[in-house]
Amino acid sequence: MQDKYDIVLLSHGDGGLLTHRLLEKYFLPFFKNEILESLTDAACFLVQPGRMAVTTDSFVVDPIFFPGGDLGKLAVCGTVNDLAVSGAKPSYLAASFILEEGFALSELERIIESMSLACKEADVQIITGDTKVVGRGQADKVYITTTGIGYVLPETNLAYFRIKPGDAVLVNGPLGEHGLAIMLQRESLGLENQVFSDCAPLNKIIEPLIKRFQGIKFMRDLTRGGLATTAKEIALASGMDIWFDETSLPVGKTVKGIAELLGLDPLYLANEGKFLTIVEAREAESVLSYLKNDCDAKEACIIGEIRPGRGDVCLKTALGGIRKLNMLAGAPLPRIC
């Protein structure tokens, strides 16, 4: 049935005819699968023997469309990646939408289609969801919460207690692209489209890596707060020091140049397609070689090592000095994801 409205109305969220039309026209065609089509209050599905993993996250990025991605792609990739770096194979997602009255239905459709494409890329299904509509000014266009479920890969044991002195620290590519892409798009500095977000699902890289290398001890995706904040959290939790070599850190020339111009540190900028992994030293080069054979991780590199200590993160600078890195303080760029 043709929808005569081109914006979201409060009545799209009242559970009546317009809500039904919203689901039928905009959501179900893109998210179609056997479990979702039952449209019951809860999705029912079979699980495999073993450990399950569940995670949830809310996405409120501003702007909702940016070079390299959009809110929908981000909502899928963010939750898929949280499962992947926990050693789990992502299987199903639940998605909840908060829509602001007046939000363009054409933009909602773009976001839903983008989510559908990201789900196909990550090989996951959205099997249940919810929509709510709030009045004008009570939200900013659209917010999405995604909850992900996956099963933990057999014999996987990624944990802080496994981190030991001598372990190597690797990343799968250049840092800071997502955070800078959002800032340039938001602030209209005339540098839009100079940097593209790295937003991408990581499970297709991480799953074979975990299956192949027993020496992988820990993983984290490098989202809010960037590499520096994540490393500090790991150092504190493990009780070890992490040492980085500035000359080994992968930062693209464009990101580095614009970040310097704006007074930003790429080590604190968010990423949405990068992960850090801590690997037993004897397997570090093999893991690196394997990553570089993946077309999405050709710029992977070893960036540091674990040393005995009390939870410090130290950066050996290009000039030979030592700089201690702490967690991001404040919020120089809110609503980054």
* 260-315 tens-digit pLDDT: 999 999 999 999 999 999 999 999 999 999 999 988 899 999 999 999 999 999 99
Whole-prediction pTM: 0.95
Burial class, 41, CB count within 10 angstroms (exposed 0-12 / middle 13-18 / buried 19+)? exposed
pLDDT for the residue numbered 266: 96
pLDDT for the residue numbered 96: 98
Q: What digits encode the pLDDT tens for the residues 263-278? A: 999 999 999 999 999 9
From CA 57, how far away is CA 75, in angstroms rounded? 8
From CA 56, how far away is CA 4, in angstroms rounded? 35
**Does residue 4 carry a pLDDT above 80?**
no
Q: Which two tokens stand for residue 84?
A: 């992947």
244 forms bridges with which residues in the sheet?
304, 315
Mean pLDDT over each residue of the chain, to the nearest integer: 95
Length of the chain: 337
Reading phi first (left if > 0) and then psi (alpha if -120 to 50, else beta), residue 279 is in beta
**Does residue 131 carry a pLDDT above 60?**
yes
Mean of the pLDDT values across residues 231-240? 98
**Does residue 62 carry a pLDDT above 80?**
yes
| Residues 124/130/135/137 CA torsion (nearest 10 deg) | -30
Mean of the pLDDT values across residues 191-216? 95
Mean of the pLDDT values across residues 72-97? 98
**Does residue 5 carry a pLDDT above 80?**
no
Q: Which two tokens stand for residue 65?
A: 């469309």
Reading phi first (left if > 0) and then psi (alpha if -120 to 50, else beta), residue 50 is in left
pLDDT for the residue numbered 147: 98
For every residue of the chain, which 3-state class applies, written as one string?
CCCCCCECCHHHHCCCHHHHHHHHHHHHHHHCCCCHHHCCCCCCCCCCCCCEEEEEEEECCCCCEECCEEHHHHHHHHHHHHHHCCCEEEEEEEEEEEEECCCEHHHHHHHHHHHHHHHHHHCCEEEEEEEEEECCCCCCCEEEEEEEEEEECCCCCCCHHHCCCCCEEEECCCCCHHHHHHHHHHHCCCCCCCCCCCCCCCHHHHHHHHHHCCCEEEEEECCCCHHHHHHHHHHHHHCEEEEEEHHHCCCCHHHHHHHHHHCCCHHHCCCCCCEEEEECHHHHHHHHHHHHCCCCCCCCEEEEEEEECCCCEEEECCCCCEEEECCCCCCCCCCCC
**Does residue 118 carry a pLDDT above 90?**
yes
- pLDDT exceeding 70 applies to what percent of the chain? 98
Q: Which two tokens stand for residue 46?
A: 């079979």
Confidence of residue 1 (pLDDT cuts 50, 70, 90): very low
**Does residue 145 carry a pLDDT above 90?**
yes
Confidence of residue 16 (pLDDT cuts 50, 70, 90): very high
Cα-based angle 137, 94, 196 (whole degrees, multiple of 5): 65
Beta strand 142-152 with 69-70 is: unpaired
pLDDT for the residue numbered 74: 98
**Does residue 329 carry a pLDDT above 60?**
yes
**Does residue 2 carry a pLDDT above 60?**
no
